[in-house]
A and B are shown apart, each in its own frame.
Chain A
Amino acid sequence: MITDYKHNYSSHCETGVTSGLLRHKGIDISEPMAMGIGSGIFFTYLPFIKAQDAPMVSFRTAPTRVFKLTTQRLGVKTAVLKKFENQLDAMDSLDRNIKNGIPTGCQVGCYHLTYLPPPMHVHYNFHNVVVFGKEDGLYHVAEPVFEETQILSYEDLLRVRFAKGMFEPKGKMYFVESVTQNPDMKKAIFAGIKTSVKNMVKDPVPLIGVRGMRKLSKHMRNWPNKLPAKNAAFNLIQLIRTVEEFGTGGAAFRYLYGAFLKEAGELLKNDELLKLSFDMGEAGNLWRDLSIRGGRFVKNRGDDNYNTLADIVLECSVREEKIFRALDKIVK
């Protein structure tokens, strides 16, 4: 049985899944809109959690948070199932869903995801896909960041849904149950912005939001003194790959969020939001600058060093603080 889910590629896994599942039910929410309403923009720097010896930098919120917030704010009834007694139970309830014609989002790990290219086989468990069909024991999977849909065998899907490591998915799955047409967009957008402002500039923890960026910039200056050259370079490489390569839509979601501000500004006829979308794009350009100049520096080209790269991160934090303070005034 294959449901009539229409696959659209997107930049970020969770916003893509959210917008895909809502569109399937007739609510036309674009990917940037899901990003904004679900408050997907985030920053956290956790130097004490190391993945392959590099400190963890995350630009996204906890898994399924975007989906939950977006649907809540649009008045959509959803179900998020996460407590399965055993693995077969999880697969059975997925099969039941597909039989009933409900495309279902699943949180999966990347390490055993067979269709990804080898460099992406990392122990990263926050990935999301939509399973929309089953035929001859093979599952049809809409991989949000790829153009074409993929297929997975029963064993492979079971394995990725119960991937091990940090933040295990434990078979988590979610789907839309019923929708209310014509939701109040203004209320939803403002609620989304409010949470983002809280995350980025008002969080008391100094490792979250713009203060986290400052912390990162401060620590970056010390990398060449404290660490062997190879480890410092690896930290920088992993930071840049997080910014650009791991499904952020480029420049650490800043372009995606800028696109949301633009769409929201046009929808609500709010010039201030349009202006801020431009500023957000510029902030995105700055992050992209970091990746390009940092990449050249790793390859021993250009005349940058850790200090100048840390300056870019600091500048990003200053600009983003301005943007989010301005947004705070708009949504008040």
Chain B
Amino acid sequence: MEETHPKEMKPLKFKWFNVGQYTFEKDGRFTNHIGFDYIPEEEALTDDAQKIIDERIEEARQKVLTGKMSPVYYYMEKTWMDPITLSKFVGLSMFTVKRHFKPAKFAKLKPEIFQKYANAFEISVEELKNPK
């Protein structure tokens, strides 16, 4: 067994992933094969979802830069979370987390809460306070 770090695994055969798929043949048989071919690759929706999420992240960034939302909101979108998930990460209630989306509330937070958010997003407190 050659030793490779999991992060440097060889690339997948297909563009995104390569999973088992069942097909229903016309004569009533079900066959199993590996691949991702229910739809031509360029028609798959993975890219569209990615695009919409990217747009949403950019929108969130603009909102933070113009002072409408707090950086918590931006980092939440950036790490693909939603208020429920984020509340589990930081151990606060969902409503508290949503309150921290307001810049005025965010500015008054205690240092340990800042640290909790920083840990959840895997960034430093400095980065959390000053998003780029």
Residue positions of A touching B, CB distance < 8 A: 9-11, 16, 31-32, 49-53, 111, 114-117, 119-123, 135-136, 138, 145-147, 150-153, 156, 164-166, 168, 230, 233-234, 237-238, 240-241, 244-245, 247, 249-251, 255-256, 258-259, 262, 274, 277-278, 281-282, 284-285, 288, 291-292, 295-296, 298-299
Contacts and interface: CB of A to CB of B under 8 A. Distances in A.
Most chain A CB atoms below 10 A, which of B3, B18, B22, B46: B22
Nearest to A256: B22
A51 B23 CA distance: 29
Contacts of B5: 153
B109 interface: no
Contact of A238 (B24, B30, B49): B49
Contacts of B20: 9-11, 16, 145, 249
B23 A255 contact: yes
Contact of A147 (B34, B82, B89): B34
Given A115-B9, A120-B17, A259 B53 contact: no
B89 to A, nearest CB: 5
Interface string B54-75: 0100000000000000000000
Contacts of A288: 38
A292 B38 contact: yes
Contacts of B9: 114-115, 150
A277 B39 contact: no
B129 to A, nearest CB: 23
B36 to A, nearest CB: 8
A237 B48 contact: yes
Given A11-B32, A146-B18, A119 B49 contact: yes
Contacts of B19: 9, 11, 145-146, 247
Nearest to A245: B46
A11 B21 contact: yes
A119 B82 contact: no
